Amino acid sequence: MTYTRIAGTGAYLPEKVVTNQDLEKTMDTSDEWIRERTGIRRRHIAADGETCSDMAIAAAYKAMEMAGIEASDIDLIIVGTVTPDKIFPSTACIVQRRLGIHGCPALDIQAACSGFVYALDLANRFIQSGSAKNALIVGSEMLSRITNWEDRTTAVLFGDGAGAAILQPSDEPGVISTHIHSDGQYEDLLQVPSGIALGYDAVCAEKAFIQMNGNAVFRRAVATLDSIARETLAGNGIDKHDIDWLIPHQANLRIISAAAKKLDLSMDRVVVTVDDHANTSSASIPLALDTAVRDGRIQRGQLLLFEAFGAGFTWGSALIRF
């Protein structure tokens, strides 16, 4: 049987850092409120003119370097994003052109904060079927462009960045299992209610921004991350204590802590980057993964659990022997 292994990881964060203290100067909020409710201390914000594909490419080159491959080796590109460069072509096709490669399949996945886990699930199927040997998967987001900087209830939560991974075939797992789900009935709880059918911000400026029922999203996120973890462990007959590292979507430290508590995992086995990156949607898991791989916490052979939850709602997990 062919399995999928993560051969390399990479990340990119825009240079500009906006701290909670910076936000205190422009809106009615405080560092204390933001840290207590979310764990966030700062976020990276893209420069004017910087694009989703710019960030994706920067992260991709780092992942390629770690995997020891060239752009010409890539035979599948999947980009998870809710902030593509254009309506079409896909950001994945733009990345493909800018990497100077031609012909391989390239597509975007729009699964909000679960985009990277969805991309991993799909690329895993390509690799297991023998259709790809060097898959590039990316989560890249410019949430600052769909954030209403006058709305303190959302503006303090989000940031920009990209994370990437190169996936290759392997005789041993690798990706042990992936689990993805969605339920569209929760559309109204977390959305940017703007677009082709509804019209863009010419109709109503605030509609082009993230709108969220924070309390309802919080409750649902905690319950769903618990159920996806149980599904993943039960499906593989693995005990929760066997997990070396939990790498959850980085939305809020309280959501992450609740997920860790339910798994009986101490926080020193949870990769947390939400304090430095804020919520970067589909980029948050690969950014956290790359951070802990490069600082030496995550070692080859360890058991990793990725958990994601986002707008849709979408949710998913991946159990990985790194």
20 is catalytic: no
Among positions 71-100, residues that touch ligand ACO (CB under 6 A) are none
Sequence-ordered list of residues with C-beta below 8 angstroms from that of 144, at least 6 positions apart, any chain: 45, 46, 158, 159, 160
**C-alpha to C-alpha distances, 114 to 84, 242, 305, nearest whole angstrom:** 15, 24, 14
**Smallest distance, Å, CB 158 to ligand ACO?**
7
Q: Measured from the CB of residue 313, what is the shortest distance to ligand ACO in angstroms?
A: 8
Q: What is the DSSP letter of 240?
A: G
With CB atoms as reference, the residue minimizing the distance to ligand ACO is: 214
Copy the structure tokens of residue 8: 């390399």
Please identify, among the stretches 92-100, 166-174, 245-253, 286-294, the one whose residues bind ligand ACO according to the rule CB under 6 A: 245-253
Which of 20, 249, 252, 277 is catalytic? The answer is 249
Tell me the residue type at 63: A
Structure tokens that stand for 96 in this block: 């493909």
Binding to ligand ACO by residue 252, rule CB under 6 A? yes
Q: Which stretch, 55-63, 82-90, 210-218, 261-269, contacts ligand ACO (CB under 6 A)? A: 210-218
Establish if 20 lies at the interface with ligand ACO (CB under 6 A).
Answer: no
CA-CA-CA-CA torsion sign (237, 241, 247, 252): positive
Q: Can you tell me which of 92, 111, 217, 271 binds ligand ACO, judged by CB under 6 A?
A: 217
> Which residues in the 120-159 window bind ligand ACO by CB under 6 A?
152-153, 156-157
List the one residue from 190, 222, 278, 285 that touches ligand ACO (CB under 6 A): 190
Q: Which amino acid is at 135?
A: A
Length of the chain: 322
Instruction: Reply yes or no: is the peptide bond before residue 88 cis, omega within 30 of 0.
Output: no
CA 68, 138, 37, 192: dihedral to nearest 10 degrees? 170
Q: Which residues bind ligand ACO (CB under 6 A)?
A: 29, 33-34, 37-38, 113, 152-153, 156-157, 190, 212, 214-215, 217-218, 221, 249, 251-252, 279, 309-310
List active site positions: 113, 249, 279
